[in-house]
Structure 1
Amino acid sequence: MKKLRMISCIILMFPFIGLSQTLENLDFVSPFHEDLAAVQKNDQWAFIDRNGDIVINFRSDLVSTKTENGSYPLFSNGRCLIESKKDGISYFGYIDVSGKKSIEPQFLNAKNFHNGKAIVLQLIKESAGVNTALGKNVIYYKYYEVLINVDGPLEAYLSKEPQNVVLDKSYLINPPEISFTHFSESLYIKKGKSNKITLVKID
């Protein structure tokens, strides 16, 4: 009878005893951004909340951002950059705080969101006709620097002229660089090769 009472007491005590979760053998823990911190284990990253619970499990497609505290994935405006490779070429998109893709990887390069907008390199595919000798369509690719909103739609063009690009992994070893940076609430700035500066105002 005494044993039964003791077991009952132990069972009743369990709800009041906190269960601990331990993450071991981590290589890096980032500062919190929007209440989520990135944790690295080998070549994969996950996100934890302020309680230390994993909210986005370890994965290999998260893109790191260089900060004064190191280089790691982060959330900005509820979005985190991801990278997907197709035929050896990198395409960039975004996930939301649940880990689901909010914008499919489709950009040749992309930056984090700021004030609800992100600078990305939007790829354009054009057909120049048919090569009769080969019996194939002649396809050209180019890209613009554009602004998108957190849901993906185009907000504005930053570059007036497109840049031609060859979609070949031997040519695109690294993603093309984004030349514009966010300067103020409505201004974006670009420094040219001759150190001439371009300012673009987006209303």
Structure 2
Amino acid sequence: MKKLMITIMLFPLLGFTQIIENVDYISPFNNEVAAVKKGDKWAFIDKEGQIVVEFRDDLVPSDNDNSTYPVFNNERSLITAEKNGIPYFGYIDKSGKTVIKPEFLNATNFKDGVALAIVVEKEIVGYNDIFNKPVAYYHYFEVVIDTAGKATQYLTQLAIHVAPSNKKNQQVPPIITSKLLSNNTVAVKENNKWTIKKIN
């Protein structure tokens, strides 16, 4: 019995190497982790080959170095979740925990502590007695967000005033036209011309 107890106590200390088999793709390391793909799911491993974020189907691949894979920047990685058939974007941290809930119609990876996103704001302008429901306008804005998901600056308003749609031809996220130049400047495109703005 004593021998069995010693074996049980030593078992976790012996340490078995985690084996990841049948992987379809392994990305270069970025922010101390690499993305690995198996089927339709992605995970992240550290430099020891240990999985730090388990395989999941909500990670968002980005174009990087002539390939497409999810990345971590500023300890954040993009995820997507559908609500009423509409894809929304948010972020997880390296433990796999959602730290910015999916609420943006589109979003970019973080760079130097900021990211770009498209937010939708609903404005109730009246009430329709015939259909027994409120009348609302929807305002779409390109914004700068911080690593907590807070909109720190509004950049431009998009000319869309209908509610987000789950129609198949409208399921592609609206395009973010602004570009992050650095942690304190952004290029905003309006009327086919660029304006360089300082990030507040």
TM-score (norm 2): 0.87
Quote the offset at 1:74 in angstroms.
Answer: 0.6
Alignment of structure 1 residues 40-189 onto 2, 5 Å: 40-159=37-156, 163-170=160-167, 172-189=170-187
Q: Whose radius of gyration is greater, 1 or 2?
A: 1
In 2, Cα distance between equivalents of 1:16 and 1:120 = 45
SS at match of 2:118: strand
| Native 8 Å contact 1:144 1:161 kept in 2 | yes
Deviations 1:79-120 (A, max 9, x none): 000000011101000001110000000000000111111111
How many residues are matched?
192
8 Å contact 1:39–1:48 — kept in the other structure?
yes
Percent identity between the two aligned chains: 44
For 2:14 and 2:78, locate their aligned partners in 1 and report how far apart those are by CA, in whole Å.
38
8 A Cα contact 2:76 2:110, kept in partner: yes
Contact 1:117 1:150 in 2 (8 A): yes
CA distance in 2, matches of 1:29, 1:94: 21
Q: Cα distance, 1:30 vs. partner? A: 0.5
Which letter does structure 1 place at the counterpart of 2:176? I
Distance in 2 separating the partners of 1:160 and 1:16:
57
**Contact (CA 8 Å) 1:186, 1:202: kept in 2 or not?**
yes
Contact 1:166/1:172, CA 8 A, preserved across alignment: no
The alpha-carbon deviation at position 139 of structure 1 amounts to: 2.1
Compute the TM-score of the two structures, normalised by the length of structure 1: 0.86
- Partner amino acid for 1:68? D
In 2 relative to 1, CA 15–44 (structure 1 residues): closer, same or farther, beyond 3 Å?
Answer: closer
Secondary structure of 1:159's counterpart equals strand
CA contact (8 A) 1:144 1:162 kept: no
What stretches of structure 1 of length at least 5 have no aligned partner? 1-13
Q: For the residues of structure 2 that align with 1:38 and 1:161, how far apart are their CA atoms?
A: 33
Deviation at 1:36, TM superposition (A): 0.7
Rate the CA distance shift 1:162–1:187 in 2: closer, same or farther, 3 A: farther
CA RMSD across the alignment? 2.4
Distance 1:98 1:42 in 2: 22
User: Take 1:116 and 1:107, find their aligned partners in 2: how far apart are those partners?
Assistant: 17
For the residues of structure 2 that align with 1:80 and 1:162, how far apart are their CA atoms?
29
CA contact (8 A) 1:66 1:72 kept: yes
Shift in Å, 1:184 = 2.9
Q: Pick closer, same or farther for the CA change 1:45–1:161 going to 2, 3 Å.
A: closer
Residue-by-residue CA offset, 1:173-196 (whole Å, 9 max, x unaligned): 2111101011134221134454x2
